[in-house]
Amino acid sequence: MFRVTAVRLAESVSKQPLNLREASAALLPPLPLYRRILRAHRHLPYEMRSLGDDYVRAEFRRHKETTNKVHIIGFLSQWKLYLDQLPAGPDGGKAFRGIPLDPTTLEKMSAEQLGQLYEVMHVTKGVWKPVSPQQDGEAGPDGS
């Protein structure tokens, strides 16, 4: 399905070089990170919030017993990046529509991760429907 090359697999997901000292300084402990994510979800539309809260809870429970330090750092750093991308404040959440997935990140995913992504895609299809200004009760630019 995807052609994966050795060069693509060797590329870093981020364009900045990995500095473990900076990465660990930016990381939050699991429980405060979990709480901050759930607090940030409060500003999202109801459908996005409920789906996001359920997913965050499931992922943190799933990784609760992980002892591999590399996996823990990767897990916490990816959730911290997610938290940083969420809009801050009540006004930002209404306009938030997500962020496109980087193709290199997609190519680096394992079969299990791709399966999870596929499941999330199917779950969100019913929840995530574009809303026209007429459905939202707002007038369009021409006043209609």
Instruction: Please tell me the predicted confidence (pLDDT) of residue 127.
Output: 60
Q: Which of 106, 138, 89 is nearest to 11 (CA)?
A: 106
Instruction: Please tell me the predicted confidence (pLDDT) of residue 33.
Output: 94
Q: Which of 95, 102, 96, 97 is nearest to 117 (CA)?
A: 102
pLDDT reading at 125 higher than 70: yes
Instruction: Please tell me the predicted confidence (pLDDT) of residue 46.
Output: 84
Q: Residue 105 — pLDDT band, cuts 50, 70, 90?
A: confident
Q: Which of 67, 75, 97, 68 is nearest to 23 (CA)?
A: 75
Instruction: Please tell me the predicted confidence (pLDDT) of residue 24.
Output: 47
Domain boundaries in the chain? 20-97
Instruction: Please tell me the predicted confidence (pLDDT) of residue 22.
Output: 55
- Rounded Cα–Cα distance for residues 138 and 8 (Å): 45
